């Protein structure tokens, strides 16, 4: 049975308070073990609506569990999505303040900038590429509100997929100028290589991940709009960082993006 409106409201307040107060909390399913994925997305929607009421704007979407290995680890068969808001956008030339987070981790992504609306339930990767004006390198900071980054699938969806912050590189490339599946990536922290990867790590092709998200939204009569930004999924695992660290992601043909933490 779906969680009632009062329970959903309590969970939204619980998660927003944890984020604002920068403190870990036990996962929601400890107290609401019956919370379903459908409940979790409903809670996520209310959480973002509350952020909008407080002055933020929705600017796009972020995808998670876009690696088949991660899906198998979580025992699921599809990706998940959360929303990006204006308050999450960081500037590459401005260090991020560690004090705004709980236990942050950084991961490299390919960002899509839409030049046309996308909506439907049969959208393909080719449709996504045709609608995409530019792609760019990105680093996302995830920062689960849950104790020790431990959660179930429903928990992480309700928590807006651990969204916290993201930074974009300055190079914008038309998607037809490179094969995104074959784009190689080197991820470093303080000059030391942490991981390498390629676009194919994201559901075989990053545009496939975006198409999945559009189709998932389409089931609810929703879609993506011209001007939306989509983080298509991590090309490697996420890495914790501390004040004083510098994160750098270099992408073949797509340039680079850096993030410094103070």
Give the distance between the most distant pair of CA atoms in the chain.
51
- Rounded distance, CA 165 to CA 259, Å? 11
Question: Does residue 9 sit in helix, strand or coil?
Answer: helix
In angstroms, the CA 198 to CA 196 distance is 7
pLDDT confidence bin for 69, thresholds 50/70/90: low
- Asked if 227 and 145 touch (Cβ cutoff 8 Å), the reply is no
> 93: Cβ–Cβ under 8 A, 6 or more apart, which residues?
none
For residue 243, pLDDT over 80 is answered with yes
pLDDT exceeding 90 applies to what percent of the chain?
Answer: 90
Residue 152 pLDDT greater than 60, yes or no: yes
- What residues contact 186, with CB distance under 8 A and at least 6 apart? 193, 195, 196, 249, 250
Query: What predicted TM-score, i.e. pTM, was given to this entire model?
Result: 0.94
* Token output for 68: 């088949």
Out of 76-85, 105-114, 125-134, which region has the weakest mean confidence (pLDDT)?
76-85
Kindly tell me the burial class for residue 230, based on how many C-beta atoms sit within 10 Å of its own C-beta (0-12, 13-18, 19 or more): buried
Q: What is the CA radius of gyration of the chain?
A: 17
Tokens of 133: 């004006």
pLDDT of residue 73: 63
76, pLDDT greater than 60: yes
* Residue 178: closest CA among 137, 222, 226: 137
Average pLDDT over residues 86-93: 93
The pLDDT of 57-61, averaged and rounded, is 97
| Tally of CB atoms within 10 A around 75 | 8
Helix ranges, the chain (H): 5-21, 37-53, 68-74, 125-131, 153-158, 206-218
Average pLDDT value for residue range 200-228: 95
Cα 190 off chain centre by: 23
Provide the pLDDT confidence category of residue 70 given band limits of 50, 70 and 90: low
pLDDT of residue 77: 72
**What's the average model confidence in pLDDT over 120-126?**
97
> Is it the case that residue 178 has pLDDT exceeding 60?
yes
Q: Average the pLDDT over 215-241 and give the result.
A: 95
Count of CB atoms situated within 10 Å of the CB of 175: 21
Task: Provide φ and ψ at 32, rounded to 5°.
Answer: -130, 70
Cα 123 from chain centre: 20
What range defines the domain where residue 150 resides? 5-260
Quote the number of domains for the chain: 1
CATH of the domain at 92: 3.90.850.10
Mean pLDDT of the chain: 94
When pLDDT is averaged across residues 15-21 and rounded to a whole number, the result is 96
What pLDDT, on the 0 to 100 scale, is given for residue 119?
A: 96
At residue 1, does pLDDT exceed 60? no
- Compute the distance between CA of residue 206 and CA of residue 61 in angstroms, rounded to an integer: 13
Q: How confident is the model at residue 66 (pLDDT cuts 50, 70, 90)?
A: confident
The pLDDT-based confidence of 78 (bands split at 50, 70, 90) is confident
Q: What is the helix (H) or strand (E) element at residue 189, kind and residue range? A: strand 184-189
* Coil, helix or strand at residue 179: coil
Which pLDDT score is estimated for 74?
63
Residue 216 has pLDDT above 80, yes or no: yes
Q: Is 20 exposed, middle or buried (0-12, 13-18, 19+ CB in 10 A)?
A: exposed
Q: Give me the pLDDT at residue 71, please.
A: 63
């Amino acid at each position: 049975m779906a969680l009632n409106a009062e329970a959903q409201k309590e969970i939204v307040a619980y998660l927003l308070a944890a984020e604002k107060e920068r403190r870990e909390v036990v996962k929601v399913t400890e107290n609401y073990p019956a919370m379903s994925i459908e409940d979790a997305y409903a809670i996520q929607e209310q959480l973002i609506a509350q952020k909008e009421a407080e002055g933020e704007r929705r600017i796009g979407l972020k995808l998670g569990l876009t690696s088949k290995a991660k899906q198998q680890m979580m025992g699921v068969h599809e990706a998940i999505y959360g929303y990006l808001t204006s308050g999450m956008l960081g500037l590459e030339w401005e260090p991020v303040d560690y004090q705004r987070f709980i236990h942050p981790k950084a991961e490299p992504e390919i960002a899509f900038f839409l030049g046309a609306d996308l909506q439907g339930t049969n959208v393909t990767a080719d449709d996504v590429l045709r609608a995409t004006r530019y792609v760019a390198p990105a680093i996302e900071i995830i920062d689960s509100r849950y104790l020790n980054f431990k959660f179930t699938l429903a928990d992480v969806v309700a928590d807006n997929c651990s969204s916290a912050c993201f930074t974009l590189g300055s190079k914008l490339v038309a998607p037809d100028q490179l094969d995104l599946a074959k784009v190689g990536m080197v991820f470093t922290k303080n000059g030391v290589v942490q991981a390498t990867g390629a676009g194919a790590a994201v559901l075989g092709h990053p545009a496939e991940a975006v198409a999945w998200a559009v189709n998932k939204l389409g089931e609810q009569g929703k879609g993506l709009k011209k001007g939306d930004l989509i983080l298509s999924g991590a090309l490697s695992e996420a890495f914790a960082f501390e004040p004083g660290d510098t994160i750098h992601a270099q992408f073949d043909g797509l340039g680079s993006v850096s993030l410094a933490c103070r």
